[in-house]
Amino acid sequence: MKLLLTSAGISNDSIKKSFFDLVGKKPEDISLAFIPTASNVEKGDKKDWFIKDLIVLKNLNLKSISIVDISAIERNIWEPQLKEADVLYFEGGNTFHLMEWMNKSGLGEILPELLKTKVYVGVSAGSMILSPDLLLNTLQKLYKEDLEKTENINGINLVNFYILPHLKNEHPVRNKENILEAIKDIKNKVYVLDDNSAIEVVDGIIKIISEGEFLEIN
């Protein structure tokens, strides 16, 4: 299983190199499925980050990029598109919304089988859903996300650690002191990544890819 779990996508040359190393093909031979579902409920900005990520992917000069929103199309449409792709790229946004649709659509159930032959790239929420659960209280404290929710939900549980993205990143609450306080009761390993950092996982072997700052806790 090959995973590239990022805070902000392919944001620098080191993460780009990891991406191509994991896929193992020339750019012109790579088909990518872009899953935007997590971003659907985000509001209050111009979606600059979303547009930037698509532009970055376009500039990689891949063979093809398919937009596959699992909340907008039926399984008989999205499943063949994912099976044809070399890379499954899960865009960022609202973590709970994405996980709810992973469950509703059935993609969460078949994802482990798909990843026997494909590379998973996660951005922010797209990285966080692979953990054992979604850390509701931590999300509420650090990201002001899903404040109305009272019950945590399980993640896909493909990794036994947690990722917290966007270290610092214009949000003072996400400094080391506040992060340590927010996760003090978590026993598993936690990787806190800035937008120039990522975690590469190949068959259980973890490697940190960074041109910025990160914290490794526990």
Q: What CATH code is carried by the domain that includes residue 58?
A: 3.40.50.880
Question: For residue 93, what are its two tokens?
Answer: 């946004």
Structure confidence by residue, pLDDT tens digits, 170-200: 665 677 888 888 888 899 999 999 999 999 9
- Domain of residue 90 covers 2-217
- The set of residues, in sequence order, having a beta carbon less than 8 Å from that of 172 and lying 6+ positions away, is none
CB 28 within 8 A of CB 61: yes
pLDDT of res. 172: 55
Give the Cα separation of 15 and 196 in Å (integer). Answer: 8
Phi and psi, residue 22, nearest 5°: -65, -40
Give the Cα separation of 186 and 104 in Å (integer). Answer: 28
142: pLDDT strictly greater than 90: no
Instruction: Give the residue-averaged pLDDT of 149-162.
Output: 90
pLDDT of res. 18: 99
Instruction: Give the residue-averaged pLDDT of 16-22.
Output: 99
The domain tally of the chain equals 1
14: pLDDT strictly greater than 60: yes
